[in-house]
Amino acid sequence: MKYKKNYPQTKGEINMCVLAVMKEMTDDYENFNSVRRQLATTMIYFVDINMLQHRSDEMKATAEMLLLKNCLGASRVEDLINDFSNEADFIENNFDEITSENIDSELLFRLLIRTLRATVNLFNEVLDTFNNSQQTNQ
């Protein structure tokens, strides 16, 4: 599959918007569409219960993008990949202290880690496709 469209720039962003790539991937891959919606729902849940309050803006922006309601530039997506990877690493490295061996906390934080890692993987796939399309257009 080739993505040969020229993608619009977002307001104030140097990098191109990756939303069009996500929409095309959603049309082309049913599994991508399902994963995208599940991640969006889970992100919204974590925002609603105030998990990672210091990342709530990033999580809201991610959920909106996953729901195809808002566009983020490639550089912003790269930042989110780094931020979410760092958060997941921190939680994993401090898991016992964070959860205090409470089974409910353990389950919730394991779900959060998996959600962050899955979002990172999905965004990496989107950026790979986006970058391939940019090289094809040159």
pLDDT in tens, the chain (138 residues): 333 333 344 444 445 788 888 988 888 888 899 999 999 999 999 999 999 999 999 999 999 999 999 888 889 999 999 999 999 999 999 999 999 889 999 999 999 999 999 999 999 999 998 888 777 766
Query: 112, 109, 114: which is closest to 95 by C-alpha?
Result: 109
Residue where the block lists tokens 């995208």: 36
The structure's pTM equals 0.84
Predicted local distance difference test score (pLDDT) of residue 91: 96
Predicted local distance difference test score (pLDDT) of residue 138: 60
Predicted local distance difference test score (pLDDT) of residue 3: 33
